[in-house]
């Protein structure tokens, strides 16, 4: 138990997982209101109110430093390990190097290359991130026609990936939930080439295809 809040590490992690989708979306708008679990938020030192949670400067800072502790989806590590047996895996991430280093350790997967927003100097959906990917595959000697971009966010990934000429796989984990969760709605029409509800389902489909 932590003396300051009386909250266990397990409870803290559970709270972060629960709040992830809601907080991340609202943090983009700064000081946004998230109507969920105000009492629990107060226990963690965030500004809680009866009608919801207001992310002020302290709340945003708490969110920012928590990124390295965010858990992976339960199926991610195994799915990536299976995919890595047949394909090179290149990360194009919207976080900084240190944060992704923590995520990478948790996944336990070896990646061919890791490109972070910190490396590029901007965040997806900027075209610069995909230009950095082009530079990296040229360095590796990989033809662009062999790339397949796999991601959840239509806004951050699928729209710019399609504009960059890449086929895409949408991991639509929110398939049975309304709204866009932690990401904004796409600002342009986009149709992914394939859609799966999890990384595990995608890995299953890949393994079922011998080509």
List pLDDT tens digits, range 148-202.
Answer: 999 999 999 999 999 999 999 999 998 888 877 777 888 888 999 999 999 999 9
Backbone angles phi, psi at 169, to 5 degrees: -120, 125
Structure-token pair, residue 22: 């809601």
The pLDDT value given to residue 39: 46
Sorted by where each starts, the structural domains of the chain and their CATH numbers stand as: 9-67 (no CATH), 76-208 (3.40.50.1000)
The per-residue pLDDT for 63 is 63
Q: Classify burial at 94, counting beta carbons within 10 Å of its beta carbon; exposed 0-12, middle 13-18, buried 19 or more.
A: buried
Give residue-wise pLDDT tens across range 124-153.
Answer: 999 999 999 999 999 999 999 999 999 999
Three-state SS sequence of the chain: CCCCCCCCHHHHHHHHHHHHHHHHHHHCCCCCEECCCHHHHHHCCCCEECCEEECCHHHHHHHHHHHHHCCCCCCHHHHHHHHHCCCCCEEECCCCHHHHHHHHHHHCCCCCEEECHHHHCCCCCCHHHHHHHHHHHHHHCCCHHHCCEEECCHHHHHHHHHHCCCCEEEECCCCCCCCCCCCCCCCCCCCCCEEECCHHHHHHHHHHCCC
Question: What sign does the CA torsion over 60, 64, 66, 72 have?
Answer: positive
The whole-angstrom separation of Cα 45 and Cα 57 is 12
Is the per-residue pLDDT at 5 higher than 80? Answer: no
Whole-number pLDDT of residue 85: 95
Contact 111, 133 (CB under 8 A): no
Which pLDDT score, from 0 to 100, does residue 113 have? 98
Reported as a single tens digit per residue, the pLDDT across 40-80 is 344 444 444 334 445 555 665 666 666 667 778 899 999 99
The pLDDT tens digits for 71-119 are 788 999 999 999 999 999 999 998 888 889 988 998 999 999 999 999 9
First to last CA, the chain: 52
pTM for the model stands at 0.72
* Whole-number pLDDT of residue 7: 46
Query: Which position has the higher pLDDT, 2 or 124?
Result: 124
How far is Cα 179 from Cα 176, in angstroms, rounded to an integer? 10
């Amino acid at each position: 138990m932590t003396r300051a809040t009386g909250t266990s590490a397990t409870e803290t992690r559970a709270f972060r997982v629960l709040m992830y989708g809601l907080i991340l979306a609202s943090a983009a708008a700064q000081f946004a209101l998230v109507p969920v679990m105000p009492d629990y938020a107060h226990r963690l030192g965030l500004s809680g109110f009866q009608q919801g949670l207001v992310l002020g400067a302290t709340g945003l800072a708490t969110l920012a430093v928590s990124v390295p502790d965010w858990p992976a989806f339960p199926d991610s590590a195994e799915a990536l390990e299976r995919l890595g047996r047949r394909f090179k895996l290149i990360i194009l991430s919207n976080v900084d190097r240190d944060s992704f280093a923590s995520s990478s350790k948790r996944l336990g997967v070896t990646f061919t290359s890791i490109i972070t927003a910190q490396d590029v100097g901007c965040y997806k959906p900027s075209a610069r991130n995909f230009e950095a990917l082009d530079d990296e595959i040229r360095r590796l000697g990989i033809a662009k026609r062999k790339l397949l971009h796999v991601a959840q966010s239509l806004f951050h990934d699928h729209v710019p990936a399609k504009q960059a000429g890449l086929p895409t796989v949408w991991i639509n984990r929110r398939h049975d939930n309304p709204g866009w969760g932690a990401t904004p709605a796409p600002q342009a029409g986009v149709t992914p080439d394939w859609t799966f509800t999890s990384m595990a389902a995608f890995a299953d489909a890949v393994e079922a295809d011998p080509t």
